[in-house]
Amino acid sequence: MARPRILVVGAGFAGVACVGRLERRLAPGDADIALITPVSYQLYLPLLPQVAAGVLTPQSVALSLRRGRYRTRIIPGLAIGVDARAKVCVVRRITGELTNERYDYIVLAPGSVTRTFDIPGLKEHGRGMKTLAEAAYLRDHVIAQLDLADAAVDEQEKISRLQFVVVGGGYAGTETAACLQRLTTHAARRYPRLDPSLIRWHLIDIAPKLMPELGDKLGRSAMEVLQRRGVEISLGVSVAEARPDQVTFTDGRVVPTRTLIWTAGVVASPLVGTLGAETVHGRLTATAQMTLPGFDGVFALGDGAAVPDLKGGDGAVCPPTAQHAHRQARTVADNVIATLRGEPLRSYRHRDLGLVVDLGGRDAVAKPVGVELRGMPAQAVTRGYHVGAMRTNVAKARALTNWILNAAAGDDFVRIGFLAEEQPSLRHFEQTDAYLTPRQVREHIASLNADQR
């Protein structure tokens, strides 16, 4: 009798934690486990701003999947479509060819992509902070603006290269603005021809508050830290138009800039739309057991699933955070195993551990288990939390070493060489054009079946 095939899509917090628990709780002969991912690492997403600022190396946040994964078959590719009736997932391998992966049970944890709007010029000129490649590219881009401004003869060009716009007052945007502003401030000392007063950072958000999840006091504290450093914060404002050398805000202001960093939220991976299933604000409508109603053997969790928040009540769903993704993964793995064994499934419930925000250097705000912290105590809790949450000891050691080295030796301002003549856009970095429609999925599977006959 053939062993059941369990297919996990996505190597983020949810997918990797799910695979790890399945490996621990299933004997080798119980099932075949496979993981689909275009990269061979789990990205520790919360620390990407520090990679962009050069505080951490890319390897520090790229946790190898080959450490501790001995039974799971890792499929190097991107899941671009799922036919739940045929129980087939279509995969575009990193070589570009399409293959079919059959399954008995599938766990959908494809994560999310940067949310964009129909704003003129945004998709062409905006830069995201969702992938390791984007963070590395953004670091090179920011340092390149300093190099070019230092060599510029035209004053207007110099001004536009030394102004930076970050859109999004959530964790990603706030930490990105904080870390990169600190980088450019320190870098200015190495450019004797640059006037430091010309370096200006703008952080804008359409919301009325900065990081409202932190509460009024901590949100205001984070805002004061950034303003004290010289970051100009504008709330209730967004982007009306983006051009190569300027950005127009919705309040009418025109900012000359060559750098637009877009972190205004996320949406579920386009893979979600290939199933033809019911969604809530673009996320798959899942049960509290993280199954999909009407779909046999399909489980969904993380950023791509609207999982009921049983503690919140009133139809609330769990927010797309790493905390929820990691904890949901344990419940999903247990429920897949329960399904294999004909046992009842368990509902997902959580206890919030709090929030941490690293603003670089000695600055941070944190709210562990409801206790509000600022400054060095918050920074100690924040970095302690991140180290504890990393899956491998190698990653923990790298992060700690990088932080100590940065504190002792300061920042460096070297461009690695990721810039190209044609600047890649959000869709290039996040491969949002790669996915099939439900009809294309069915047609592709039918054509392959016909060829095999």
Q: Could you identify the residue written with the tokens 């902070």? A: 129
- The closest of 302, 303, 307 to 292, measured between CA atoms, is 307
SS3 for 97-113, per residue? CEEEEECCEEEECCCEE
Q: Could you identify the residue written with the tokens 């964009």? A: 116
| Count of Cβ atoms closer than 10 Å to residue 195 Cβ | 12
Check whether 436 has a pLDDT greater than 60.
yes
pLDDT at 69 (0 to 100): 64
Check whether 12 has a pLDDT greater than 60.
yes
Beta bridge partners of 9: 36, 108
Mean pLDDT of 394-412: 93
pLDDT at 420 (0 to 100): 62
Note the pLDDT tens digit of each residue in 135-161: 999 999 999 999 999 999 999 999 999
pLDDT at 152 (0 to 100): 94
Note the pLDDT tens digit of each residue in 356-396: 999 999 999 999 988 999 999 999 999 999 999 999 999 99
pLDDT at 67 (0 to 100): 84
Q: What is the mean pLDDT of the chain?
A: 93
Share of the chain above pLDDT 90, in %: 81
Residues 6+ apart with CB under 8 A from 152: 158, 161
148 sits in which H/E element? helix 132-151
| pLDDT category of residue 451 using cuts at 50, 70 and 90 | low
Give the ranges where 293-437 is alpha helix by DSSP (H): 322-341, 375-389, 393-409, 426-430
Beta bridge partners of 93: 77
Beta-strand pair 200-205/163-167: parallel
Cα(211)–Cα(152) distance, rounded to whole angstroms? 37
Cα(374)–Cα(359) distance, rounded to whole angstroms? 10
Domains plus CATH for the chain? 5-53+60-114+267-350+430-452 (3.50.50.100), 122-261+354-419 (3.50.50.100)
Q: The pTM is what?
A: 0.94
Check whether 453 has a pLDDT greater than 60.
no
Mean pLDDT of 274-302: 95
Q: Could you identify the residue written with the tokens 């000392």? A: 189
Contact 149, 161 (CB under 8 A): yes
pLDDT at 330 (0 to 100): 96
Beta bridge partners of 305: 284
Q: What angle do CA 281, 166, 306 make, to 5 degrees?
A: 15
Q: Name the 3-class secondary structure at 267.
A: strand
Q: Could you identify the residue written with the tokens 């303003």? A: 227
Interhelix angle 393-409/375-389, nearest 10 degrees: 150
Mean pLDDT of 194-220: 93
Greater pLDDT, 227 or 451: 227
Tally of helices (H runs) and strands (E runs) in the chain: 13, 25
CA-to-CA separations, 396 to 60, 66, 93, in angstroms, rounded? 8, 16, 30
Residues 6+ apart with CB under 8 A from 253: none
DSSP-derived letter for residue 345 is P
Mean pLDDT of 283-293: 96
Note the pLDDT tens digit of each residue in 46-77: 999 999 999 999 999 999 998 876 789 999 99
- The closest of 34, 38, 41, 9 to 111, measured between CA atoms, is 9
